[in-house]
Amino acid sequence: MAWIVLVVSGMLEAVWAVALGKTEGFTRLVPSLVFAVAIVLSMGGLAYALRTLPIGTAYAVWVGIGASLTVAYGMVSGAESVSAIKILLLVGLIGCVIGLKLAH
């Protein structure tokens, strides 16, 4: 169960990161609310997962999922350029996250 919560929390990390970028310094209400809810749920899920998973592994997985999804969102939305090297590096990052799970 901790792994499922950790993965969802990593996804919520991407949500709050994207929302933070859209808050314009917390001057826009809806993105600010999305940010606040997503960060509380993301951190809460990480804290729950840390009850049974080692901090190093859990944090690396959480950040890896969040960072990968945030960059992927940026590429899909057009906010970030798309290149073969970026895609290759994202695949590598995801592979490392999977490897940490398998090594656990």
Q: Could you read off the pLDDT tens digit of each residue along the chain, which spans 104 residues?
A: 999 999 999 999 999 999 999 999 999 999 999 999 999 999 999 999 999 999 999 999 999 999 999 999 999 999 999 999 999 999 999 999 899 888 87
DSSP, residue by residue, 2-37: HHHHHHHHHHHHHHHHHHHHHSTTTTSHHHHHHHHH
**Nearby residues of 11 by Cβ (< 8 Å), 6 or more positions away:** 65, 66, 69
What pTM does this model have? 0.90
